[in-house]
């Protein structure tokens, strides 16, 4: 089976088409997906989706490109305290220096407070990082996270990937590797230890090569996997088994509910 570790199932074209979307991705052996929140405005939505649909798990966090206020951290803490069964991580959070309006100082403040919540609630963290790998590595060295996490949509070098791995993080592999021009990232993903790779789509974002202009979908995880196999030296079956094990190790709450 496949697990999409990062899918915005609460966004179009999936919202209001949940049953059809689930039936469609299950045809491709995608058995579970993790839906990360991006802010207080969709905390309740992603939680509700997980309660309505067995394949859906979720994470709660404050995404760096959206505007937040200190009260959102209080709400986040309260929702984490309840520890619903299908809440598997804190996220999506991180740093983003790609957008013109980026306020890295403010982003960092919210990120560090979510680091504290991750350790306090003993949860892994899903980290967004665009043009900020160096800054996030520095923060992780200064603030060790007990339960680690995943670098979502990794697009860096082999050296950067290994630094994240040494700090207890997994590497989220998605549509970036479908682009021939992404030579640095494709090389990194071909060489890093297999036991630190998880798969994701970031659907409906991060379209794969050849599918630009179309919404990305959870079932495209199969194509990401096929490209990963073409880049690696291990047999496909070994890669698939390892990735499932990696995912359940990183997000152990999914493993505890594996019969759902």
Residue 17 annotated as binding site: no
Q: By the 8 A CB rule, do 203 and 216 touch?
A: yes
Query: Parallel, antiparallel, or unpaired for β 149-152 and 169-173?
Result: parallel
Known binding residue 6? Answer is yes
* Pair 201, 222: CB distance under 8 Å: no
Whether 8 has a binding-site annotation, put simply, is yes
Query: Does 152 count as an annotated binding residue?
Result: yes
Run of H or E including 204: none
Kindly give, in sequence order, each residue whose CB lies less than 8 Å from that of residue 65, ignoring residues fewer than 6 positions away. Answer: 96, 99, 102
Q: How far are the Cα atoms of 22, 31, 231 from residue 207, in angstroms, in the given order?
A: 19, 21, 19
Strands 56-60, 87-96: parallel, antiparallel or unpaired by DSSP?
Answer: parallel
The reply to whether 120 sits in an annotated binding site is no
Place of tokens 């992780």: 140
Ligand-binding annotation for 92, yes or no, is yes
Beta strands in the chain (DSSP E): 2-4, 30-36, 56-60, 87-96, 125-130, 149-152, 169-173, 197-199
Cβ proximity of 94 and 129 under 8 Å: yes
Known binding-site residues for a divalent metal cation equal: 6, 8, 92, 128, 152, 202
Residue ranges for the known binding site are 6, 8, 92, 128, 152, 202
């Amino acid at each position: 089976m496949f697990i999409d570790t990062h899918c915005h199932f609460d966004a179009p074209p999936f919202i209001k088409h949940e049953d059809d979307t689930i039936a469609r991705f299950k045809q491709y052996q995608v058995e579970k997906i993790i839906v990360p929140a991006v802010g207080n405005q969709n905390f309740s939505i992603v939680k509700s989706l997980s309660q309505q649909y067995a394949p859906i798990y979720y994470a709660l966090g404050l995404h760096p490109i959206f505007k937040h206020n200190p009260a959102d951290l209080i709400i986040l803490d309260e929702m984490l305290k309840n520890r619903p069964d299908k809440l598997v991580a804190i996220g999506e959070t991180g740093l983003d220096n790609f957008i013109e309006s980026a306020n890295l100082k403010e982003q960092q403040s919210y990120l560090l407070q979510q680091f504290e919540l991750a350790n306090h609630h003993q949860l892994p963290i899903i980290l967004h990082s665009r043009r900020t790998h160096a800054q996030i590595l520095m923060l992780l060295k200064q603030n060790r996270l007990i339960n680690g996490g995943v670098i979502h949509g990794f697009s860096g070098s082999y050296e950067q990937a290994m630094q994240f791995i040494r700090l207890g993080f997994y590497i989220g592999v998605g549509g970036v590797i479908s682009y021939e021009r992404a030579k640095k990232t494709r090389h990194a993903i071909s060489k890093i230890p297999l036991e630190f790779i998880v798969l994701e789509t970031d659907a409906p974002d991060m379209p794969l090569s050849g599918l630009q202009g179309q919404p990305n979908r959870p079932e495209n995880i199969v194509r990401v996997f096929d490209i990963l196999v073409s880049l690696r030296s291990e047999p496909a079956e070994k890669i698939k088994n390892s990735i499932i094990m990696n995912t359940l190790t990183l997000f152990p709450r999914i493993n505890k509910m594996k019969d759902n």
